[in-house]
Structures are given as structure tokens and as C-alpha cells.
């Protein structure tokens, strides 16, 4: 069997690879029956030496080829690798001939990042005559699908999470399943048999601080000093030091400025996550909302206020006093504008 596992969701792809390797046989015989070949050291002869032999005291053999197809993706940003003559890597004819002759007890897995449909390796391998080929693309989960995954994953770990809490986790952590799985592991252990609730997420999941920072930036730029002071004290009580808190607010001000630039030049929404440097739907959505609500003048004024607060902290002013003075100064910020 030939597998092509590719896509941006490396967590799900890794789990699919683990299923193939589990089929090799008991763990104590896998070392003798599983081979891995990196793209930089790949050759058809090396693949043949690993795949064209019978399993040793096991049910199957498996050969994992990592990153080979990605060498044919266009351009260095896609991981492409050019030859000295400037051409992209192409699949050798001997490769498909070998794959067509694989023993029925051998599996070959091409483990890749995101591939384009026109990838020459992908097309050649998928079209191998006389061979069983399974191509699976793993795309990031979004919203309802991600919330459903959260509920299922929590159940696998022996925990339970209601739909509202699952949606909260999906929105705040986003489609990075490596992070989500780690947070669910932590929450399941912490809750110790009882259902995972929203308060547990707020207490343990670090990304909830992003939500509080959004609330703090909103309150500062809208001149709601009371709400800003309450949020600031909550963050300080949770262990956020003054310089860290200032850095988080400055980071969000920078993201808002970038988002305003994207809106000004009418950049398409698919570009927004990469330009803002985040894969979180929650962060992108909240940042774009703030970019629409606040004027560029307000963002520049906030930057000046942050600089003054930074100097105060470095001169020895206590965290709480410096931040309180910053919130008092926020009343001079230009007013929020109507959304557009």
C-alpha cells in the first residue's frame, strides 16, 4: 500500500502515520521493520533496499519518506528545491516502476507538508498503475468541526466538555491541534473526572490572556478607564508583570496598525493570518474588529502612551502605579470611530 499524507494539519497527519506504523506489528519488532528516508538522502535504490524485502517477525514493513514531494513545490517559500540549472525536482521514472512492484506486505508512506494539486511527485505517485494508493490531505479544522474535535478528543482522554466550552476553546486556541491536545490533557487532569467548564479554561489556558488583552485595549482606546483598570488588576493578580502586560498591549497595538494597513489596501481575507503572524481565527477576527473601530491617530497616540509608560517602569515606578497612570492618560486618546 502507498500512502501520501500531506497538509497544513501536521497533528492529524502524524496520527494517520502512527496508524500505519501500528499495523506493522508489536512495538518490539517495529525497529527492524520501519525505515525512514529524508528527502536530502533519498534515492530509488535506497527505497528499494528498505521496501522490497519480507517483514522480519512482523506482519508488515513500512518505509516513511519525508519531504520528498515538497522538493518539487515552486519557490523557496514553499520548501521547493531547485537544481543548479534552475529547474525544480522531478520524480524519476524508476520511482513509479518500483512502487508498482511493491510486495503486498510493504507500505510506503510519503509524509509531506501542504502540496499543490499540480505537484509532479503527487501526480506521478497517485497515478501509479497496478498499485493501491491512498492520498489524504489534512486541512486545518475550523469552528464547528474544530469544536466537535475538541469534544471527541476530551472523551478519548477520559474527560467531558460541553458544546459551549468546546466552542470557547476552538475560538481562543484556533486550529493548532498540537496546542489544543496539550491544553485538553492539562484540563482533563485538572478537572479529575468532572466536566471541563469555562471557568477551568479561563484558569488554565494561557491563550485566554489574549482575550483579556483585547478587552484591555478596547477599554483603553474607548476611554473606559474603570473597565480598563479592572481588567489590568485582574491580569496583575493572575501573575502578569507590568513589563509583560505592557508588551502584550504594545503587540496588540502593532497588530491593529498592520490590520489597518491591510484594510486600507483591500487585502483579501485569506492573506490576513500570514500578515498578522497568527493562525488563530479568534486573534484575526478581534484584531480586524479593532482596526475598523479605531482611527490610525488613536493607535499612534496609544503607542506614545505605551512609550511613556515603558520609560516610567524602567525608571523604577511600580508596575501598578505606572499602568494606572497610563490608564489615566488614555482619556486623552482620540475617540473611537464608527465601524466601517
Q: What is the pLDDT of residues 300-318, one digit of tens each?
A: 888 888 888 888 888 888 8
* Most confident of the ranges 154-163, 170-179, 323-332: 154-163
Reply yes or no on whether the pLDDT at 122 is more than 50: yes
Using an 8 Å Cβ cutoff, are 79 and 113 in contact? yes
The three cell numbers of residue 271 are 492573506
pLDDT number for residue 42: 93
pLDDT at 82: 46
pLDDT of residue 89: 64
Across 77-98, average pLDDT:
62
pLDDT band at 210 (very low <50, low <70, confident <90, very high): low
CA distance 206 to 151: 19
User: 294, 286, 282: which is closest to 330 by C-alpha?
Assistant: 294
Cell 467548564, located at residue? 197
* Residue 148 CB burial class (10 angstroms; 0-12, 13-18, ≥19): middle
Q: What is the pLDDT of residue 81?
A: 47
Top-ranked range on mean pLDDT: pick from 113-127, 167-181, 236-250:
113-127
Q: How far, in Å, CA of 221 to CA of 172, rounded?
A: 22
Interatomic CA distance for residues 10 and 66, integer angstroms? 12
Average pLDDT value for residue range 140-153? 92
Task: State the average pLDDT over residues 149-153.
Answer: 96
CB 33 within 8 A of CB 56: yes
The alpha helices in 52-126, defined as continuous H runs, are 93-100, 120-126
Tell me whether strands 34-38 and 2-6 are parallel, antiparallel or unpaired: unpaired
pLDDT of residue 338: 45
Torsion of CA 295, 297, 300, 305, to 10 degrees: -100
Give the helix ranges, DSSP H, for 192-295: 198-204, 208-221, 225-237, 242-264, 272-276, 281-293
Report whether 298 contacts 306 (CB < 8 A): no
pLDDT of residue 239: 66
Pairing of strands 133-137, 2-6: parallel
Mean pLDDT of 239-246: 76
Confidence of residue 187 (pLDDT cuts 50, 70, 90): very high
Contact indicator for 141, 149 with CB cutoff of 8 Å: yes
**3 state DSSP class of 63:** strand
Overall average pLDDT of the 88-101 stretch: 83
Evaluate if pTM is beyond 0.85.
no
Mean pLDDT of 161-168: 92
Q: Roughly how many angstroms between the first and final C-alpha of the chain, as a whole number?
A: 54
Mean pLDDT score across all residues of the chain: 84
Predicted confidence at residue 111, as pLDDT, reads: 95
* % of the chain exceeding 90 in pLDDT: 41
Indicate the SS3 state at residue 3: strand
Instruction: Judge whether 133 and 172 are in contact, CB under 8 Å.
Output: no
Beta-strand (E) ranges in the chain? 2-6, 34-38, 61-66, 106-111, 133-137
Per residue in 25-36, pLDDT tens? 888 888 899 999
pLDDT of residue 337: 55
At 34 the three-state DSSP class reads: strand
Average confidence (pLDDT) over 91-106:
91
**Cell numbers for 93:** 521514472
Q: Which own/partner contact pairs does 45-53 have at CB distance under 8 Å and 24+ positions apart?
A: 47/95, 47/98, 47/108, 48/98, 51/98, 51/102, 51/103, 51/106, 51/108, 52/98, 52/101, 52/102, 52/103, 52/106, 53/103, 53/106
Comparing 149 with 322, the larger pLDDT belongs to 149
Residues whose CB is less than 8 angstroms from the CB of residue 48 and which lie 6 or more positions away in sequence, other chains included = 98
Amino acid at each position: 500500500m502507498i500512502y501520501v499524507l500531506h497538509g497544513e494539519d501536521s497533528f492529524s497527519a502524524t496520527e494517520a502515520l502512527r496508524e500505519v506504523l501500528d499495523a506493522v506489528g508489536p512495538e518490539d519488532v517495529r525497529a527492524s521493520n520501519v525505515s525512514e528516508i529524508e528527502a536530502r538522502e533519498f534515492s530509488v535504490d535506497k527505497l528499494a533496499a528498505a521496501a522490497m524485502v519480507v517483514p522480519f517477525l512482523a506482519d508488515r514493513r513500512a518505509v516513511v519518506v519525508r519531504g520528498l514531494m515538497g522538493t518539487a513545490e515552486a519557490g523557496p517559500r514553499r520548501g521547493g528545491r531547485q537544481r543548479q540549472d534552475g529547474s525544480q525536482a522531478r520524480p524519476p521514472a524508476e520511482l513509479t516502476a518500483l512502487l508498482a512492484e511493491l510486495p503486498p506486505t510493504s507500505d510506503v508512506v510519503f509524509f509531506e507538508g501542504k502540496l499543490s494539486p499540480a505537484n509532479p511527485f503527487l501526480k506521478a505517485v497517485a497515478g501509479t498503475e497496478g498499485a493501491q494508493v491512498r492520498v489524504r490531505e489534512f486541512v486545518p479544522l475550523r469552528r464547528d468541526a474544530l469544536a466537535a474535535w475538541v469534544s471527541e478528543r476530551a472523551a478519548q482522554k477520559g474527560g467531558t466538555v460541553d458544546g459551549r466550552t468546546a466552542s470557547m476553546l476552538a475560538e481562543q486556541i484556533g486550529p493548532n491541534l498540537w496546542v489544543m491536545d496539550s491544553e485538553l490533557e492539562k484540563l482533563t487532569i485538572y478537572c479529575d473526572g468532572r466536566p471541563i467548564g469555562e471557568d477551568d479554561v479561563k484558569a488554565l489556558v494561557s491563550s485566554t490572556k489574549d482575550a483579556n488583552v483585547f478587552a484591555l485595549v478596547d477599554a483603553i482606546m474607548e476611554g473606559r478607564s474603570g473597565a480598563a483598570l479592572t481588567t489590568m488588576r485582574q491580569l496583575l493578580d493572575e501573575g502578569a508583570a507590568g513589563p509583560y502586560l505592557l508588551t502584550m498591549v504594545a503587540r496588540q497595538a502593532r497588530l491593529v496598525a498592520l490590520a489597518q494597513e491591510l484594510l486600507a489596501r483591500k487585502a483579501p481575507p485569506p492573506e490576513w493570518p500570514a500578515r498578522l503572524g497568527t493562525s488563530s481565527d479568534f486573534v484575526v477576527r478581534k484584531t480586524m474588529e479593532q482596526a475598523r473601530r479605531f482611527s490610525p491617530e488613536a493607535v499612534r497616540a496609544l503607542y506614545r502612551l505605551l512609550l511613556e509608560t515603558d520609560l516610567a517602569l524602567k525608571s523604577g515606578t511600580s508596575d501598578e502605579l505606572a499602568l494606572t497612570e497610563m490608564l489615566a492618560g488614555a482619556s486623552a486618546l482620540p475617540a473611537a470611530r464608527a465601524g466601517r
